Amino acid sequence: MKLCVALDLASAKENLDLLELLRDYGIWVKVGLRSFIRDGQAFLHAIKAINPAFKIFLDLKLYDIPNTMGDSIDEIAKLDVDMVTLHASSGRGGMREVMERLKVIENPPLVMAVSALTSFDEESFFEIYHRDIPSQVLEFAKIASSVGVNGIVCSCLESLQIKQTFSRDFLTLTPAIRPFGEGSGDQKRIANLQDAKEAMSDFIVVGRPIYKAANPQEVVKKILETMELSC
Residue 39 is labelled as binding a ligand: no
Residue 65 is labelled as binding a ligand: yes
Tell me which of 64, 71, 74, 82 is the catalytic residue: 64
Site string for ligand C5P, 42-71 (x = CB under 6 A): -----------------x------------
Rounded distance between C-alpha atoms, residue 229 and residue 194, angstroms: 11
Residue 208 is labelled as binding a ligand: yes
Asked if residue 175 binds ligand C5P (CB under 6 A), the reply is yes
SS3 per-residue string spanning 31-60: ECHHHHHHHHHHHHHHHHHHCCCCEEEEEE
Residue 136 is labelled as binding a ligand: no
Rounded distance between C-alpha atoms, residue 211 and residue 1, angstroms: 20
Site for ligand C5P in 91-130 (CB under 6 A): 114, 117-118
Rounded distance between C-alpha atoms, residue 217 and residue 83, angstroms: 24
Rounded distance between C-alpha atoms, residue 176 and residue 187, angstroms: 6
Give me the amino acid identity at 187: Q
Q: Which is nearer to ligand C5P, 151 or 207 (CB)?
A: 207
Helix (H, G, I), strand (E, B) or coil at 200: coil
Residue 61 is a catalytic residue: yes
CB of 227 to ligand C5P, least distance (A): 16
Residue 17 is a catalytic residue: no
CB of 148 to ligand C5P, least distance (A): 21
Residue 202 is a catalytic residue: no
What are the backbone angles phi and psi of residue 103, rounded to the nearest 5°? Answer: -60, -30
Tell me which of 2, 39, 59, 202 is the catalytic residue: 59
Q: Which is nearer to ligand C5P, 32 or 94 (CB)?
A: 32
**Binding residue for ligand C5P (CB under 6 A) from 110, 147, 176, 220?**
176
How far is CA 205 from each of CA 57, 69, 95, 201, rounded to the nearest angstrom? 10, 24, 22, 10
Q: Residues annotated as binding site for substrate?
A: 8, 30, 59-68, 118, 178, 187, 207-208
